[in-house]
């Protein structure tokens, strides 16, 4: 199995387990569950190009003392459509 296919498989497992997750949560899941992990750029590309996954919106992330920034949230598409 190619490395990209294994990363896709981990992303699907993450979204199945969490239901809806931010890009950072998916990145952390893949990074901890694979020996070499993946870059955030790889994760973002796979999330946006996989037809089984849909973007649900944006979430603000940050602390009170730091500026906040937004990350995308993702989920698996409904099978009924």
- The CATH number given to whatever domain includes residue 71 is 1.10.10.10
| Bigger pLDDT: 1 vs 62 | 62
81, part of any domain: no
Residue 53 counted as domain residue = yes
Give 14-32 pLDDT, tens digit per residue: 999 999 999 999 999 999 9
For the chain, the domain total comes to 1
Residue 43 belongs to a domain:
yes
b/e map 34-57, b = 16+ CB within 10 Å: eeebbeeebbbebbeebeebeeee
- The structure's pTM equals 0.85
Tell whether the model's pLDDT for residue 52 goes beyond 50. yes
Mean pLDDT, to the nearest integer, of 58-73? 84
User: pLDDT tens digits, residue range 3-12?
Assistant: 889 999 999 9
Task: Indicate whether 46 belongs to any domain.
Answer: yes
pLDDT band at 1 (very low <50, low <70, confident <90, very high): low
């Amino acid at each position: 199995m190619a490395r990209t296919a294994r990363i896709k498989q981990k992303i699907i497992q993450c979204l199945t387990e969490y239901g809806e997750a931010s890009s950072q949560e998916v990145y952390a899941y893949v990074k901890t569950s694979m020996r070499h992990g993946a870059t955030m750029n790889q994760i973002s590309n796979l999330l946006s190009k996989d037809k089984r996954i849909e973007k649900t919106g944006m979430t603000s992330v940050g602390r009170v003392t730091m500026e906040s920034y937004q990350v995308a949230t993702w989920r698996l598409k409904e099978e009924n459509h």
